[in-house]
């Protein structure tokens, strides 16, 4: 998983630099979560991406799509060399995650606040069909500004969807400024609890803690689980960490070389 997290970061750095795209900080923030999911939690089969009993993973913070493409390639859903097409003219590897022509992507997203409702629908359907698979949805903290999420949060608790997990990549920085200066989410865990969810707070870069939290699902029978993952935006590259700048900036030239050196030393 450590190796997978490192690969995700290096691929994402290369993909965003080569294609000139944004959001590398947002990928680094969730890289450990995605590595733990694809490295040791999700029951998926790269040779059968549509296996009916697979666990579903939805990246609702679609702007970090490069990280999911990298994880899927590393897990063998498609050849790693396809990643070089990211963000290029005529490529299916859009900046925001897309399912068309990319095995393993469950849902195309990019506009925030969509993934949790679709995930809740999948979870509701799994319950109707008495299926045992689980649905994991990864959201950003800024994304929780979107009211549609709270519709889904109400729904999932009401219908006791304990096969649904919302993971929030809580790096406390959104597009222009810190969450606390934009729209305060705190007391964040209490909000989820008040809506009827089981809440687990973890260090979103600690693979052991992440595994423990994510493998335990459903940890609280009859209740959906929120995993609030405390993370650092830009994690892994010293000059990108905890800066709003690297939500949008693309690493070029010397910045790229320095970032790559730091990631390779991880």
Partner 1 sequence: MRDAFIGRLTQLAAANPRLFLITGDLGFGVLTKFAAARPGQFLNAGVAESNMTGLATGLALEGRIVFTYSIGNFPTLRCLEQVRNDAAYHEANVKIVAIGGGFSYGALGMSHHATEDLAVLRSVPGITVVSPGCLWEVEEVTEALVQTPGTCYLRLDKSSAGRTNRPGEYFQLGKIRTLRSGRDVTLLATGGILAQALQAADQLAADGVQARVLSAHTIRPFDSETVFRACRETGGIITVEGHVGGGGLGGLVAETCLEGGVVPRAFYRIGLRAGFASVVGSQEYLRARYGMDGAAIVASAHQMVQRAGRLTVAGRVDSAR
Q: Which stretches of the chain bind partner 1, using CB under 8 A?
A: 99, 106-111, 113-114, 116-126, 128-129, 147-148, 151-152, 154-155
Q: Confirm if 168 and 228 have CB atoms less than 8 A apart.
A: yes
**Nearest 5°: phi and psi at 121?**
-65, -40
CB of 151 to partner 1, least distance (A): 4
| Residue 106 or 143 with smaller CB distance to partner 1 | 106
CB of 60 to partner 1, least distance (A): 10
CB of 209 to partner 1, least distance (A): 29
| Residue 111 or 211 with smaller CB distance to partner 1 | 111
Q: Confirm if 31 and 5 have CB atoms less than 8 A apart.
A: yes
| Residue 110 or 178 with smaller CB distance to partner 1 | 110
CB of 215 to partner 1, least distance (A): 23
Distance CA 167, CA 90 (A): 32
**CA dihedral (93, 168, 171, 229) positive or negative:** negative
CB of 82 to partner 1, least distance (A): 21
Q: Cβ–Cβ contacts within 10 Å for residue 256, how many? A: 16
**CA dihedral (259, 263, 265, 266) positive or negative:** positive
| Residue 72 or 135 with smaller CB distance to partner 1 | 135
Burial class (CB in 10 A: 0-12, 13-18, 19+), 184: exposed
Q: Where are the alpha helices (DSSP H) in 112-187?
A: 115-128, 147-158, 179-182
| Residue 71 or 161 with smaller CB distance to partner 1 | 161
């Amino acid at each position: 998983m450590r190796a997978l997290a490192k690969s995700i970061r290096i691929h994402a750095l290369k993909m965003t630099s080569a294609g000139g795209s944004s959001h590398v900080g947002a990928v680094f923030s969730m890289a450990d979560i995605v590595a733990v999911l694809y490295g040791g939690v999700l029951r998926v089969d790269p040779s059968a991406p549509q296996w009916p009993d697979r666990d579903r993973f939805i990246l609702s913070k679609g702007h970090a799509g490069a990280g999911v493409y990298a994880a899927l390639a590393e897990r063998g859903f498609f050849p790693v060399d396809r990643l070089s097409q990211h963000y290029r003219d005529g490529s299916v590897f859009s900046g925001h995650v897309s399912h068309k022509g990319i095995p393993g992507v469950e849902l195309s997203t990019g506009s925030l606040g969509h993934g949790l409702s679709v995930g809740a629908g999948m979870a509701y359907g799994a319950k109707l069909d008495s299926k045992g698979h689980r649905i994991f949805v990864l959201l950003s903290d800024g994304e929780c500004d979107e009211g549609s999420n709270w519709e889904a949060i109400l729904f999932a608790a009401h219908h006791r969807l304990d096969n649904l997990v919302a993971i929030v990549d809580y790096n406390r920085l959104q597009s222009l400024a810190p969450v606390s200066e934009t729209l305060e989410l705190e007391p964040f865990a209490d909000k989820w609890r008040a809506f009827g969810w089981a809440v687990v707070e973890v260090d979103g870069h600690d693979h052991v803690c992440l595994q423990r939290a994510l493998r335990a699902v459903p940890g609280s029978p009859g209740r959906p689980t929120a995993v609030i993952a405390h993370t650092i935006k830009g994690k892994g590259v010293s000059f990108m960490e905890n800066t709003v700048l690297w939500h949008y900036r693309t690493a070029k030239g010397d910045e790229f070389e320095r970032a790559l050196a730091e990631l390779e030393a991880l």
